[in-house]
Structure 1
């Protein structure tokens, strides 16, 4: 992201993005919340990719270079913050409650936020953000070329069910070496990373209107029920709620 733009202020606004469109790499001097009330938004940083459906918002700290990509017709809401009420210094996905959802939508669409009512709404919004739990769908970037090769294979085809030994033979690394690299570079185990990749792709496909059963098979789940179970445990909702 070396060609990123510097946009000093993080705006508070809302906008629509067409399916498969995006916002090129940039960074702000202020913090920002990014929320998609419709569709799915992926945010890419220099170290990870995040994806946020309607039950997640993304926290982008000041100085973090990031870009946006829409999957499905997407309605985005941006909240700029000069302070850091969350005390977070890395991009993070946050759970969005029904109340927080309505506050983000309404506040970012206000034409005058300096009225007494607008200021009260902002105070409640900040209170809700401060208590929002972290619920990521995050895919860290690999640096070791052997690990990167394995990750690229599964990114291309998340339905690939091979284990690390088989994948490692193509990448020139043993299963033990790859296990260590996943732990050291990704901060997670191989099964945890593979689940994140599959959920990342699943959210993209669901936003494009594909049926649950087809998404389950394309993302490597043995059955639709297995996919629904993993989806619900990871995200707190069924995949049908995203259609």
Structure 2
């Protein structure tokens, strides 16, 4: 990302973003948790895109260039960390339990964080983060131009149901070559990547108030029931909970 800003300290704070508002590319010398208690936040890095509804938080390691975009009116909570309680070296989406949610909201909203009560809250928060499981909804970016062409086609129309052989005829590569590229470059199978892409777009549309039936159609699911099933298995909740 060009024109990135360096903010040495990762702030601990809460802020509201209007629908479609953005935070331009920047990086910190500290680790950071980004959580949206309302709305949906997407985080873009140089190699991937991540999206987090209210049951997910995003872990951004120090030195990672990233930008934010809000879908729907969004309440963001930022937690700066000099330590790495998760032992993760790359961005990830984390499951947020009800307790972790309340801790993130309460701690990032504090005016004074040096009181004994605030310090105890931070210790519990770090303990909860250390045990949070990874629950990604992310879309890794392709580098190979043939693979990037296929990804761009599906980005433009997530409902495109063509298989790799048909897409490969446009990209100038065989279905077998593309299958290998998905595995070697993106560490996913083609169906896994396409499902992540469709869920990414689905979360954006749901945050903007689009109906479940319409989201299913726009994102390429055969039926609304099929969409609900994939959504629940992937995220642990029904899409209706995000409307």
Q: What 5-or-longer segments of structure 1 have no aligned partner?
A: none
The TM-score, its normalising length taken from structure 1, stands at: 0.99
Offset at 1:2? 2.5
Counterparts of 2:240 and 2:183 in 1: how far apart (Å)? 32
2:212 match: 212
Counterparts of 2:55 and 2:24 in 1: how far apart (Å)? 24
Q: Does 1:62 find its partner at 2:62?
A: yes
Q: Count the aligned residue pairs.
A: 243
Offset at 1:8? 0.2
Q: Does 1:108 find its partner at 2:108?
A: yes
Give the superposed CA RMSD.
Answer: 0.4
Offset at 1:200? 0.1
Residue-by-residue CA offset, 1:134-157 (whole Å, 9 max, x unaligned): 000010000011100000000010
1:76 match: 76
Counterparts of 1:55 and 1:90 in 2: how far apart (Å)? 20
1:135 match: 135
Offset at 1:3? 1.3
Residue-by-residue CA offset, 1:131-184 (whole Å, 9 max, x unaligned): 000000010000011100000000010000010000000111100000000001
Q: Does 1:49 find its partner at 2:40?
A: no
The TM-score, its normalising length taken from structure 2, stands at: 0.99
Counterparts of 2:143 and 2:63 in 1: how far apart (Å)? 22
3-state SS in 1 of match to 2:231? helix
Counterparts of 1:142 and 1:85 in 2: how far apart (Å)? 30
3-state SS in 2 of match to 1:74? strand
Residue-by-residue CA offset, 1:102-155 (whole Å, 9 max, x unaligned): 000000001111111100100000000000000000100000111000000000
3-state SS in 1 of match to 2:205? helix
1:95 match: 95
